[in-house]
Amino acid sequence: MASNKKIVDEVPGWIRVFEDGTVDRTWTGTPEMESLLKPVSPHEEFINGVAVRDQIIDPKTGLAVRIYVPEMKNNVQTKAKIPLILHLHGGGYCICQPDWSLYYHFNTRLVSSVQAVLVSVYFRLAPEHRLPVAVEDSYTALLWLRANARGELSDKWLTIYADFNRVFLVGDSSGGNLVHQVAARAGFDDIEPLKLRGGIAIQPGFISDKPSKSYLEIPENPLSTREMMKKFTSLAVPIGSTGEHPIVWPIGPQAPPLTTLKLPPMLVVVAEMDLLRDYQLEYCEEMKKAGKEVEVFMNYGMRHSFQFNKLAIDMDPEMAAQANKMVEVIASFINRN
């Protein structure tokens, strides 16, 4: 039994790594968090305006995606196609799944507000599958979309709803890092007839070995601590790598110069009270210096990943207003690009 095994590494509450290489991700933290982490079953019928199904896209690895489609509003008569979002979840590359309640609630809301198809990737997790596996799986999902756009595959929902000419990458926390990596890789590849119109990094998990002012000074909270961020990074990067790994810190000395990358317009969503805030803002400044198109939106007074805490949002009008504004800004960015 797991309780008799020796733990050699852990992020308290989230993940325990045993000496035999096995991993336990059972939540052992505060009970009130459990409801946010429970999986939500797919439903192909529309519930609250959204239908959801899971689909294996690579039988060799078992790679799967969760697909969300909205109940069409203004497009019923015209049968116009709607934007396509490739969603890359957060969790420090080590935890989280697209079917978790916290993602289900946020993604259904995003799909309804934007009127878009959303495809969320069940990429393989570290430490069993260290970086760059998460990038490779995410890019495989983009190529699966390309195969559907080319008619080589024919997913029923993508065929009916998706505008392959308007593809957007969306990722939160470490998923924001994946947005940068997938966009950069797509810039050197032939993804036609897909058109990558933009990338949206929500509180991206950019972090460096050099502590920033926000990292040192902003108060921690139980779901966002310095030790947690360091530990997830060490479990995710290839053995022997440092915190300057280019996926973790894409503007560091190990990363390719931004000037050499072909990137779509980017929206970076920042939370004012996020430990990683200054790393995110530094990324935006370096992007601008490199001549890249980048917009920044700040949620004032908010912490890292606040938008997923449905329990708190339901009780806190200010947090609810900030979450609403975030969705509005994302919808506006997609509608303009």
pLDDT band at 78 (very low <50, low <70, confident <90, very high): low
The DSSP call for residue 100 is: B
Model confidence pLDDT, tens digit, residues 181-202: 999 999 999 999 999 999 999 9
- Write out the H or E segment, with its range, that includes residue 65: strand 63-70
User: Considering only 27-31, 59-63, 66-70, 141-145, which range has the smallest mean pLDDT?
Assistant: 27-31
Q: Identify the pLDDT of residue 2.
A: 46
CA dihedral 96, 99, 100, 104 (to 10 degrees): 120
pLDDT score, position 121: 98
Residue 75 has pLDDT above 60, yes or no: no
Active site residues: 173, 274, 304
pLDDT tens-place string over residues 297-322: 999 999 999 999 998 999 999 999 99
Which two structure tokens, joined as six digits, stand for 250? Answer: 């894409």
CB contact at 8 A, 7 and 90: no
Residue 223 has pLDDT above 80, yes or no: no
CB 268 within 8 A of CB 296: yes
40-336: CATH class: alpha beta
**What is the pLDDT at residue 74?**
61
* pLDDT of 3 higher than 80: no
The amino acid at residue 129 is H
CB count in 10 Å sphere of residue 114 = 23
| Across 70-74, 128-132, 241-245, 323-327, least confident range | 70-74
Percent of residues, the chain, with pLDDT higher than 90: 92
At residue 145, the pLDDT reads 98
- pLDDT at residue 1 tops 90: no
- How many residues are listed for the chain in this entry? 337
pLDDT at 76 over 70: no
pTM above 0.95, yes or no: yes
Paired tokens of 18: 């045993």
Nearest CA among 26, 190, 31, 162 for reference residue 95: 26
pLDDT band at residue 4 under the 50/70/90 scheme: confident
